[in-house]
Structure 1
Amino acid sequence: MMLSWHDHLMILPIVLPMLVSGLMLLLGERLTTQKAVVNVLATLALLAVAVALLLQADDGQLRVAVYLPANWPAPFGIALALDRLSAIMLVLTSVMALGALLYSLARWHRAGVHFHSLFQLQLMGLNGAFLTADLFNLFVFFEILLAASYGLLLHGSGPQRVKAGLHYIAVNLVGSSLFLIGVALIYGVTGTLNMADIAVRIGQVAAADRGLMEAGAAILGVAFLIKAGAWPLNFWLPPSYAAASPPAAALFAIMTKVGVYVILRLSLLMFGSSAGASSGFVQPWILYVGLATLTFGTLGMLASQNLGRLAGFSVIISSGTLLSAIGFGQPGITAAALFYLVSSTLALGAFFLLQELMERSRTFGADLLAVTLEAFGLDRNAAQEDETNSADIGVVIPAAMAFLGLSFIACALVLSGLPPLSGFVAKFALLTSVLNPGGLTQGGSGAEPAQAWILLALLIVSGLTTVVSLTRVGIRTFWVPAGRAQPRLRVIEVFPIAAMLVAGIVLMVQAQPAMRYFNDTARALHEPDAYVQGVLSTRRAGPSGDAQP
């Protein structure tokens, strides 16, 4: 039978941004308003499609939906695979993209050329990376999102962005080279690039070739650890994210999760129980790298004074927490990590957007303030006049400082994991699962290895450090300055921040159904047979009845 229209939804997150990006290139740079409208409508459509795919993936079974763009069955043709994990990432990407885009319409989309085209290409690369079931096409989408991110990072120009952009490009080119080397080694041993097919063949690899295959997997893992911001390969991240424009940085918050997503997907798919002698090969390394990354991010938070760098180190702490959780290889811990992934990404996106608005409320030279205003040798009145004159023209929102203060507190609570917001729920679930991997209802003994207690200590210390660092910045921004002019904010700048924080509150209120979804997702990831069979058993669609199941 023929495929129905809703069976083609899976290709839309890739095709739609590709077509829209090309259309906006044809429109030229003079039609900025028209391009902005098209971009917003396309992003809204992507969000609607992502939500539809999320509902489609949640059918109560451990199944995967497969789409064959060229109508050739795997492993010979390109295959797209949709399960709960990829559906979660699609929705999260669309939410982050819509918030960043709306914020950019205040002024940032006019700061350089081709912003809207690059923005849609970024979405194409991200969505493709989450949907593809093939390593080579993963590389293709990986390069598309990186190429678009180069332009978005440099958007707005300036020496700081150019310097950070050169470092960012150089590091990611190295990562791309490692990606190709790792893929080539895996293909040379297994003879396939389809991820499900690799999962089948990896247990059949001869003992003489196993070392070469594991070396390829390790090299491939390094490439994605670079993208995830893992230590010691994350020196580029804080300066790059601090230099990027706020909407670009907010979108970049989801980019580090691409590395985490691929590591989670491939580690459980390729090195699960069916991998023979290589079963569990990567798990200890992921755990140790995650713990080191979490430690590095904690120290960086404590040493930073700049809001942009604080946000960058918050991304590193988030990546370290997720990698550590993945390294335990337990379904309950993986489910809690997915809850934390969504919660922390929303808070980081709001924080990246909020920092620019906070800077408008600060007096000139406020970054030099250590304890008191006596540390300045500047005239306060002149500084305030300079700040007022440089503020963007906009509608003054009543109690603007109250909004900034409450939003900053909400971001701090989520990122540090303090109650009552979603960050606390996520860390509580994570710690409960780490200390009792057997489950409270499954007779878990509570006797934990040393790594569990190390992660427990690092999560507590990182949360405390985040509270101290952000409280220090909050005091300097909202408390110490006196006689400050009211900052001018626009509704289109305020709305995306409020929406992301409200989404986090909804996640907290709906924690029970959310955790049910994440538990189902983790269970499917740790039982990859359904994914493998779904991808490899899907047949060509056509009038003869050879259709997808």
Structure 2
Amino acid sequence: MMSHLPMLPILIPLLGGLMMLLPPYVGADNYARRRIASLALILLQIGCAIWLLLTVSRDGAMLYALGDWQPPFGIILYADGLAAMLVLLTSVLGLGITLYSCSGTDREGKYFHPLIQFQLLGIYGAFLTNDLFNLFVFFEVLLIASYTLLIHGGGKHRTAANVHYVILNLIGSSLFLIALGTLYGTTGTLNMADMSLRIAALSESQAVIAQTGGALLLIVFGLKSAMLPLHFWLPRTYEAATAPVAALFAIMTKVGVYCIYRVFTVVFGSEAGQLADMALPWIWPLAILSIAAGTLGVLASPNLRTLTGNLVIVSVGTLLVAFALRTPEATAAGLYYLIHSTLISAALFLIADMVGLQRGKAFDRFVLARRVQHQSLLGIMFFVAALSIAGLPPFSGFLGKLVILQSVTEAGDKVLIWSAILISSLAGIVALSRAGTTLFWRHPVSKDTSDTETISSWKVTGTTLLLSTSILLVIFGGHVLEYTNQAAIQLHDVQLLLDVMNLGGTAP
């Protein structure tokens, strides 16, 4: 009997989001109900994600065919170690931002909690689907929710940033559809496992067309992940969003990175015949340049939110470097770093908001402003986040960058990759040191903080939850790395995917 477990992470936010649009939860006086429902839903999602991860670890990858339409037909969900890990990561991040938003941010719009659920629905679906068309559908679901979340709370600044964000993503969606049409025309399928069989058997003329489709997919995923030169939208967009939304968006770039890992390993990987590893000549320089561009942006950032956005770009470049190495060891190291960078950058967005609300009109800009009232609490939070995201021991950032550096085996690659990662880490330390000094130590002689906003316990709880993962990733680092190694091996084993799909083919 087919297990319905892979479908639950999609059904729970779908039905929960719709439920919160019904009369018992709408209206200005029903915020408490929406908060309770939202927290219950996200806890249920975490429980299902843990259950899915444990099941996949014990029994191997799981296939779910909706309506019992077997591959390559119908809607196919595929839960392997990588998908299960990212579903759990997303749900933990969702809990942190939901807790933070209960402090009052959710009151700026009555549809905040349903939109968060629909956003999570799209992200879960993107991680679990094994069909490129359904990937496009889930992309649209998460993007439509993100359009509304970005302007949550209103304001000209958010509206302007949203216009650019919407236009860019509409262009990306159009390119995505063109790529799907091109690939379907040449291979006759959009199921990733089936495509991995057919792509290697294409004639030379068909391979050229399929290569065009693959190149368009790389552009689309590069836009979603903020890979250079398609990164320019990210700092402004993340700066404009409210803190919980910006923190949730930290996983959005990782969706693009995940798609690069999945599609260009399974479909256009080493077993794709004429199109084997077609993305590598582009990924290598763009990964290094993304790290460089993000590093320069970190040094030039005028406020903490923009600085954090540029750190996200650095993390994307680092993850693409791990992909470009094309070994299970490098992929496993990249997956560990992905978990760390997502949670800690999200926490830093929340910290920037708490600090900014206590500095008056200066907000989180690196200028002289009034003293932060809760200096010790916020200072410790910032210190932990800064050390972790800069890659200093004893936090997860250090271990994440260390395992990536250790996965580099070629002498020529070592020079380039070690230099890029270490220099970016040094620049991050310098920028974060300047930020901490300005935000917490530079203030007028007057210590009047009577009109500063107090910190809600909801905010502290949500942020502490995300920050604590940096310590937990070190304490349980051996177990996490063992799991990411298994997930990486599954990802690189295309024959395993074919066997699970029961396609009866043999990877070339």
The one of 4, 10, 13 aligned to 1:17: 13
Partner of 2:392: 418
Shift of 1:452: 3.4
Q: Kindly indicate whether residue 282 of structure 2 is the aligned counterpart of residue 320 of structure 1.
A: no
How far, CA to CA, are the matches of 1:535 and 1:41 in structure 2?
A: 34
Give the whole-Å Cα distance in 1 for the aligned partners of 2:43 and 2:104: 20
Residue 347 of structure 1 aligns to a residue in which SS? helix
- Which residue is 2:201 aligned to? 204
Greater RCO, CA 8 A, separation 6+: 1
Query: Matches of residues 82-101 of structure 1 in structure 2 within 5 Å?
Result: 82-101=79-98
State the alpha-carbon separation in 2 of the partners of residues 498 and 76 from structure 1: 45
The amino acid that maps onto 1:192 is T
- SS in structure 1 of the partner of residue 271 of structure 2: helix
Q: Secondary structure, in 3 states, of the residue corresponding to 2:49?
A: helix
Secondary structure of 1:67's aligned partner: strand
Q: Does 1:448 align with 2:403?
A: no
Runs of 4 or more above 4 Å deviation: 366-370
SS of equivalent to 1:274? coil
Q: Does 1:245 align with 2:229?
A: no
In 2, distance between residues paired with 1:282 and 1:79? 25
1:298-332 C-alpha deviation (Å, 9 max, x unpaired): 00001112111011101111111101210111111
Equivalent residue in structure 2 for 1:177, among 170, 174, 178 = 174
The structural deviation recorded for 1:208 is 1.4
Instruction: Confirm or deny: 8 A CA contact 2:225 2:256 kept in the other structure.
Output: yes
Q: Which of 516, 522, 529 is the matching residue for 2:495?
A: 529
Aligned to 2:375: 401
1:276 and 2:270 correspond:
no
Match of 1:546 in 2: none
Tell me the alpha carbon deviations over residues 179-223 of structure 1, each in whole angstroms, 9 at most, x when there is no partner.
111111110000001111001111111111111101101101110
| One-letter code aligned to 1:318 | S
Distance 2:321 2:193 in 1: 25
1:115-152 Cα distance to aligned partner (Å, 9 max, x none): 11111100110000000111111000000000000011
Q: Secondary structure at the match of 1:333?
A: helix
From 249, 261, 282, the equivalent of 1:264 is 261
Counterpart of 2:306?
309
Structure 2 runs not aligned, ≥5 long? none
Structure 1 residue 162, shift from structure 2 partner:
0.4
Is the CA contact (8 Å cut-off) linking 1:155 and 1:245 kept in structure 2? Answer: yes
Change over 3 Å in CA distance of 1:221–1:368 after alignment to 2:
closer
Taking structure 2 as the reference length, the TM-score comes to 0.95
Taking only aligned residues, the RMSD between alpha carbons, in angstroms, comes to: 1.8
Equivalent of 2:424 in 432, 450, 462: 462
Q: 1:468 to 1:188 in 2, by over 3 A?
A: same
Bigger mean CA offset, 225-234 vs 272-281: 272-281
The answer to whether the Cα contact below 8 Å between 1:199 and 1:275 also exists between their aligned partners in 2 is yes
Q: How does 1:214-363 map to 2 (within 5 A)?
A: 214-362=211-359
Q: In structure 1, how many angstroms separate the alpha carbons of the residues matched to 2:389 and 2:472?
A: 16
**8 Å Cα contact 2:93-2:248 kept in structure 1:** yes
Equivalent AA in structure 1 for residue 411 of structure 2: E
Shift of 1:32: 2.0
Distance 1:504 1:368, change over 3 A: closer
Aligned equivalents of 1:415, 1:487: Cα separation in 2 = 27
User: How far apart are residue 286 of structure 1 and its match?
Assistant: 1.5
2:442 to 463, 480, 486: 480
Aligned amino acid, residue 127 of structure 1: Y
Q: Which of 403, 411, 430 is matched with 1:429 structurally? A: 403
Task: Please state how far the C-alpha of 1:274 moved relative to its aligned partner.
Answer: 2.3
Q: 1:29 and 2:27 equivalent?
A: yes
Residues 247 and 350 in structure 2, CA contact (< 8 A), matched pair in contact too: yes
Distance in 2 (alpha carbons) for counterparts of 1:142 and 1:259: 10
Q: Secondary structure at the match of 1:58?
A: helix
Distance 1:349 1:366 in 2: 18
- How many Å separate the matches in 2 of 1:366 and 1:513? 40
| Rounded Cα–Cα distance in structure 1 between residues aligned with 2:94 and 2:76 | 25
Query: 1:272, CA displacement in angstroms?
Result: 2.5
Report the Cα distance in structure 2 between the residues aligned to 1:39 and 1:502, rounded to whole angstroms.
Answer: 22
Give the CA deviation at 1:363.
5.5
Contact 1:47 1:94 in 2 (8 A): yes
Question: Identity across aligned pairs (percent)?
Answer: 40
Amino acid in the other structure paired with 1:29:
G
Find the counterpart in structure 2 of residue 57 from structure 1. 56
Q: Which has the larger radius of gyration?
A: 1
Aligned to 2:47, the other structure's residue is in SS state: helix
* Preserved contact between residue 356 and residue 363 of structure 2 (Cα < 8 Å): no
| 1:537 CA drift (Å) | 4.7
Partner secondary structure for residue 531 of structure 1: helix
**Inter-partner Cα distance in structure 2 for 1:269 and 1:203:** 11
Shift of 1:487: 5.7
Partner secondary structure for residue 161 of structure 1: helix
Could you tell me which residue of structure 2 aligns to residue 547 of structure 1?
Answer: none
Aligned pairs for 1:181-200 within 5 A: 181-200=178-197
Report if aligned partners of 1:293, 1:319 keep a CA contact under 8 Å in 2.
yes
Match of 2:67 among 65, 70, 74: 70
1:503 maps to what in 2? 469
**Separation in 1 of the partners of 2:84 and 2:501?**
16
Partners in 2 of 1:310 and 1:332 — Cα distance?
Answer: 30
Q: Aligned equivalents of 1:536 and 1:32: distance in 2?
A: 48
8 Å contact kept, 1:305–1:473:
no
Q: Describe the shift of the 1:167–1:532 C-alpha distance in structure 2 as closer, same or farther (beyond 3 A).
A: same
Give 1:285 deviation, angstroms.
1.4
- CA deviation vs aligned residue, 1:7-60 (integer Å, no higher than 9, x gap): 21211111111111111111323322212211110111001000111111112x
Question: What CA distance in whole angstroms lies between the structure 2 residues aligned with 1:156 and 1:91?
Answer: 28
Q: 1:64 touches 1:535 (CA, 8 Å); kept in 2? A: no
Q: For the Cα contact (< 8 Å) 1:285–1:327, is it kept in 2? A: no
How many residue pairs get aligned? The number is: 497
Say which is worse superposed, 509-518 or 355-364, in terms of deviation.
Answer: 355-364
Corresponding letter in the other structure for 1:263: I
| Cα displacement (A) at 1:362 | 2.6
1: CA distance, partners of 2:490 / 2:459: 39
User: What letter corresponds to residue 388 of structure 2 in structure 1?
Assistant: V
Q: Aligned partners of 1:343, 1:368: CA distance in 2, in Å?
A: 26
| TM-score normalized by the length of structure 1 | 0.88
Deviations 1:262-298 (A, max 9, x none): 1000111012332112112112312221111111000
Distance change in 2, residues 1:84/1:484 (3 Å): farther
Q: 1:418 to 1:23 in 2, by over 3 A?
A: same
Distance 2:248 2:93 in 1: 6
Give 3-state SS (helix, strand or coil) of 1:318's partner: helix
